[in-house]
């Protein structure tokens, strides 16, 4: 796979990861009602996310309510919120920087070495974005797992388990880090650096012999 095709594949993968991370951050299904146990309650299904909680009736009606207070939320929700916002910001800047540094764009093509370094910087931003998404989703999943298995008077069918947004977030983190890694492979080759150095030093050498 050529350098340009590798960059394009990495950019598309990272862009898909950023869009998936945005969807995961907005979705309210970070945790959902558990249907484990003997007495299964299916009349109302509860979903909770970073920004809102929803109740789905068996008739198909869904009612959602935004979290009223930021400071009253649990620490893991506040931390996951912050990490997802940072992830989206890093990914947004990575999208802009990578477009400038990719070989298939015309911006800065007169200096291919600097252009490749810009692409690498975009890849690093995507990798950091994926790591933030991974940390946010994993932290939330750890808390859901702890609350599900801890000793409590709450019956199993009234507890929460993983929601679909967690799996979307894990997939988004994987795509972002994969795309960023492919973009980081755009590091300038040693041969190109040597050619550039040779072109810069050749005129001064010829003047010495004149």
Q: Which of 174, 132, 172, 181 is nearest to 10 (CA)?
A: 181
Least confident of 4-8, 13-17, 194-198: 194-198
At 118 the pLDDT is 86
Mean pLDDT, the chain, rounded, equals 80
Cα atoms in the Cβ-side hemisphere of radius 13 Å centred on 97: 22
> Is residue 130's pLDDT more than 70?
yes
At 96 the pLDDT is 92
Question: Which domains, from first to last, does the chain contain?
Answer: 3-28+70-196 (1.20.140.150)
The residue-averaged pLDDT of 146-166 equals: 76
What distances in angstroms separate CA 120 from CA 7, 93, 116, 193, one per listed residue?
Answer: 10, 13, 6, 16
Q: Are 157 and 35 in contact (CB under 8 A)?
A: yes
> Is residue 192's pLDDT more than 80?
no
Select the more confidently predicted residue: 201 or 23. Answer: 23
Over the stretch 8-47, which tens digit does the pLDDT of each residue have?
888 999 999 999 999 999 999 898 887 665 555 556 778 8
DSSP label at 23? H
What distances in angstroms separate CA 144 from CA 8, 19, 32, 96, 106, one per listed residue?
Answer: 37, 24, 10, 35, 48
150 pLDDT band (50/70/90 cuts)? confident
DSSP label at 103? T
Over the stretch 58-104, which tens digit does the pLDDT of each residue have?
777 888 888 877 777 888 899 999 999 999 999 999 999 988 877 77
Cα atoms in the Cβ-side hemisphere of radius 13 Å centred on 5: 2
Cα atoms in the Cβ-side hemisphere of radius 13 Å centred on 138: 10
Between the ranges 32-41, 140-149, 200-209, where is the mean pLDDT highest? 140-149
What distances in angstroms separate CA 19 from CA 30, 79, 82, 175, 176, one per listed residue?
Answer: 17, 21, 17, 10, 10
What distances in angstroms separate CA 183 from CA 8, 58, 98, 173, one per listed residue?
Answer: 8, 47, 8, 15
């Amino acid at each position: 796979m050529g350098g340009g095709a590798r960059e394009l594949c990495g950019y598309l993968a990272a862009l898909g990861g950023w869009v998936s991370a945005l969807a995961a951050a907005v979705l309210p299904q970070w945790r959902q009602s558990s249907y484990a146990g003997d007495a299964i309650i299916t009349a109302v299904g509860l979903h909770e996310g970073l920004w809102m909680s929803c109740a789905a009736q068996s008739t198909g009606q869904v009612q959602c309510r935004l979290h009223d207070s930021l400071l009253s939320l649990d620490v893991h929700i506040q931390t996951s919120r912050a990490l997802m916002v940072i992830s989206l910001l890093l990914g947004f800047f990575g999208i802009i920087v990578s477009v400038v540094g990719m070989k298939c764009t015309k911006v800065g093509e007169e200096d291919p070495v600097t252009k490749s370094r810009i692409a690498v910087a975009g890849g690093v931003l995507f990798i950091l974005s994926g790591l933030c998404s991974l940390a946010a989703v994993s932290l939330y999943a750890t808390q859901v797992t702890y609350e599900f298995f801890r000793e409590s008077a709450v019956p199993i069918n009234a507890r929460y388990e993983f929601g679909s947004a967690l799996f979307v977030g894990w997939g988004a983190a994987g795509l972002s880090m994969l795309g960023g890694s492919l973009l980081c492979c755009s590091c300038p080759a040693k041969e190109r650096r040597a050619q550039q150095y040779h072109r810069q030093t050749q005129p001064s050498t010829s003047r010495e012999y004149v």
